[in-house]
Amino acid sequence: MSSQNNYSNTSTKTMDPKKSISGRFIGASMLLSAFLLVLLAVLLLAPFTGTVFSAVNDTFTANVTISNSLPNITQINFNDTDSSNVNISLNANNNTNFIWCNATINDGNGCQDITLVNATFFHTTSAISSADSKILHYTNATCNLTGSGTVAIAFCGMSFEHEATNGTWNCTIWAKDGALATTWNSTSNSVNQLIALDVTEAAIHFGTMASGQSSATANTTNVTNQGNVKINLQVAGSGDMICTAQGQIGVNNISYNLSSGAYTTMSTNQLSTSLSSALAFGLTAEGNGAFAADEPATNLTYWTIHIPTGVRGECNNTITISALMA
């Protein structure tokens, strides 16, 4: 038998590589084109079909930084209670006189931005940094504030004692805002001289004396300087001492001095109805010379009397002691 080979007729086709790549490119291009057409259609139809990629409203943040406006003191008034802005007058007898130093302050951030105002009052013989004293230096650490808009008004009051030194005083006002920025301004005014005294005793009691008797020792009166300058004294009597039972004692039967003694040693300074020549009392104001800040400036005057014959009863007159600048 003869063997017979069976062969299958299989035909094999080999694809051209160039044609394969070209086909795939064409296919991808067609897909991309289709996608772009769909996207274009969606975008064109979005206004009519509803929002797809954005909301109807959107928001963004507005931001600005405001710099601090420095306060500015534009006006200062420095005066006493009469508000005339002329010389300042003080009061005697330890009364205080309220002094004002008021300021107008502008702040672009608003008057509420002013957080603190203080005032320093000082005599030209002192300095702004000196310690407080009744005669030369006062401080108000917390002035009162009011205002509206961008304008604040500071009220800086201070009670000056009677011994505050006369002459030129400075008022300096400092203002601070919420950002701790500070500003200052100053002005000056003059404090008048104050010549004043006070006699502690309401009367000189010579006691019970006999007709023809003279004082062996002197009675005293305390004279206190209640002003702000050194003082000397003048004295006068209202007239003769009128006695309730009989007679009168001549005004010149009373003698005075600035040192103690008996009537016989003091009789050269006899009282009269006219003010005497100045007595060199030389009493400085409180806080000056030998007197501490809170120590009254006080010194003594001395008085004696001679009783003439022919008088009886209680005898009285009025004695005036006047101060004049030494």
Task: Kindly give the confidence (pLDDT) of every residue in the chain, 326 residues in length, as a single tens digit, with 9 standing for 90 and above.
Answer: 444 444 344 344 444 545 555 556 666 667 777 666 766 655 565 555 555 556 788 888 999 888 888 899 999 999 987 666 689 999 997 677 789 999 999 999 999 999 999 999 999 999 999 999 999 999 999 999 999 999 999 999 999 999 999 999 999 999 999 999 999 999 999 999 999 999 999 999 999 999 999 999 999 999 999 999 999 999 999 999 999 999 999 999 999 999 999 999 988 899 999 999 999 999 999 988 777 777 889 999 999 999 999 999 999 999 999 999 99
CATH T-level assignment (fold) for domain 197-325: Immunoglobulin-like (2.60.40)
- Record the tokens describing residue 225, joined without a space: 């300087």
Domains 72-191 and 197-325 share a fold: yes
Residue matched to tokens 């600048």: 325
Read off the pTM: 0.75
Give the CA distances from residue 217 to residues 12, 53, 265, 283, 304, in Å, rounded to whole numbers and listed in that order.
Answer: 163, 117, 10, 24, 7
Contacts of 250 (CB under 8 A, 6+ apart): 240, 241, 308
Domain ranges for the chain, please list them: 72-191, 197-325
Asked if CATH classification 2.60.40.10 holds for the domain at 72-191, the reply, yes or no, is yes
Q: What is the pLDDT of residue 186?
A: 96
pLDDT at 126: 96
